[in-house]
Homo-oligomer: A and B are copies of this chain.
Amino acid sequence: MSDQREKAMQRRSKQREAIHEELSKLKTHPRSDELYAIVRRRLPNVSLGTVYRNLDRLQREGMAIEIYCGDFVRYDANVSPHDHFLCRTCRRVWDFEPGALRQEPAPSEPQDVGGFRVDGKYTVFTGLCPDCLRNL
């Protein structure tokens, strides 16, 4: 009764490495197209589809997280638990450690709560960033 399926062999690729490295350097939580432009400076032939495929894979493997911003997704190579701030005006995302608004950290192991298996949590604060507040 054992599962006979072969696990697909995982190969490394310079594209995925470049995508992960460039994402790791950034603190700006780039959109796919922004990261694509940056990776293209290193690998001029990389395609946007490859960026999407690898961001999805990195996320599934726990090496990146997705931040849903409504009209698009932003990516972050910092997978340690932290919150974000989404500016309603410029739609940039910032890391946020709000002191007085401190959150419970996400469970590090999947945890069963009321019949749900919780394996992640994300908190996004919304409002106006300092730049947009200044230009009000």
Contact = CB atoms under 8 A, between A and B. Distances in A.
B113 A130 contact: no
Number of copies of this protein chain within its complex = 2
Given A68-B68, A101-B121, A115 B133 contact: yes
A117 B94 CA distance: 13
A66 B126 CA distance: 12
Contacts of A94: 116
Interface in A91-118: 94, 96, 98-104, 107, 110-111, 113-118
Nearest to A104: B101
Interface residues of A, number: 38
Contact of A98 (B118, B126, B133): B118
A85 interface: yes
A37 to B, nearest CB: 22
A119 B133 CA distance: 12
